[in-house]
């Protein structure tokens, strides 16, 4: 039964991706948005990034660029990610249009419409035990975690929803998630990362394990 559901899932992925790319608003988006991005900030219109997908294999994920390309200011200080987002980028993120190029990832088989969101390399390496179940399925444009809160829940909660999705997957569940995602997009829910969710999770960029933090503090004391 699961094999049949997976077959339906892949067929549905291809059908919906082709339909949206060829017949819906995606074509105008793929033409207009890159032009607007190029006219309003320096850098490429499409942003590519290495992500970790099914079975822990890396792949190149596509997005519309929403940030300035400069990572450091004139004084050499790193600019925080939220301060690098352009005006156009904020609109793209609020409407989730920045994710549209990932339909090509769906077509080439590195992603699915529904599944756990693809992790960065350092995030994937921090998954332990049952958390690694999330890599048993293709990562998705959206997923159970996205309709349960998206950026309004802790990383650990998101992963628990990923695990739940993998364990309870059915084709019908994918349909439910897809339709609920559309509602979330229109309501613009969970598009911004709240300050309290930044830098506190072991999956965040600047996370330092307690033992490493203690070692660093001891080293500073010895100097």
Dump pLDDT digits (tens) for 86-110: 999 999 988 888 999 999 999 999 9
Position 210 scores a pLDDT of: 63
Rg (CA), the chain: 19
Where in the sequence is the domain holding 145, given as residue range(s)?
A: 2-202
Mean pLDDT for 204-213 is 65
Handedness of CA 91, 94, 97, 103 (dihedral sign): positive
| Residue 220 domain-assigned (yes or no) | no
pLDDT by residue (tens digit) across 131-176?
999 999 999 999 999 988 777 788 889 999 999 999 999 999 999 9
Greater model confidence, 187 or 94: 94
Position 113 scores a pLDDT of: 93
Greater model confidence, 13 or 25: 13
Position 201 scores a pLDDT of: 74
| Residue 30 domain-assigned (yes or no) | yes
| Residue 157 domain-assigned (yes or no) | yes
| Residue 182 domain-assigned (yes or no) | yes
| Residue 212 domain-assigned (yes or no) | no
> How far apart are alpha carbons 119 and 44 in whole angstroms?
22
Nearest 10 degrees: Cα torsion 120, 126, 127, 128: 170
| Residue 223 domain-assigned (yes or no) | no
Mean pLDDT of the chain: 84
pLDDT by residue (tens digit) across 23-77?
666 777 888 899 999 999 999 999 999 999 999 999 999 999 999 988 888 888 8
| Residue 207 domain-assigned (yes or no) | no
| Residue 20 domain-assigned (yes or no) | yes
Position 33 scores a pLDDT of: 92
Position 221 scores a pLDDT of: 43
This prediction's pTM: 0.77
The total number of structural domains that make up the chain = 1
Position 198 scores a pLDDT of: 54
> How far apart are alpha carbons 172 and 184 in whole angstroms?
19
Mean pLDDT for 174-186 is 88
Nearest 10 degrees: Cα torsion 216, 159, 122, 43: -120
């Amino acid at each position: 039964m699961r094999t049949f559901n997976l077959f339906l899932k892949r067929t549905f992925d291809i059908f919906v991706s082709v339909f949206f790319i060829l017949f819906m608003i995606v074509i105008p988006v793929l033409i207009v948005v890159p032009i607007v991005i190029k006219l309003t900030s320096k850098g490429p219109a499409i942003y590519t990034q290495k992500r970790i997908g099914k079975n822990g294999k890396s792949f190149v994920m596509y997005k519309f660029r929403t940030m300035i390309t400069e990572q450091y200011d004139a004084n050499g200080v790193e600019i925080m990610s939220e301060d690098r987002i352009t005006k156009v980028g904020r609109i793209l993120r609020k409407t989730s249009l920045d994710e549209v190029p990932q339909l090509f990832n769906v077509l080439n088989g590195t992603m699915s419409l529904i599944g756990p969101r693809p992790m960065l390399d350092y995030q994937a390496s921090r998954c332990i035990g049952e958390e690694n179940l999330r890599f048993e399925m293709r990562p998705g444009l959206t997923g159970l975690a996205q309709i349960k809160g998206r950026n309004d829940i802790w990383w650990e909660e998101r992963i628990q929803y990923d695990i739940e999705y993998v364990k309870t997957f059915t084709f019908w569940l994918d349909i439910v998630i897809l339709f609920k995602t559309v509602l979330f997009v229109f309501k613009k829910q969970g598009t911004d990362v709240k300050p309290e969710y930044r830098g506190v999770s072991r999956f965040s960029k600047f996370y330092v394990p307690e033992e490493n933090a203690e070692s660093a503090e001891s080293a500073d004391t010895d100097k």
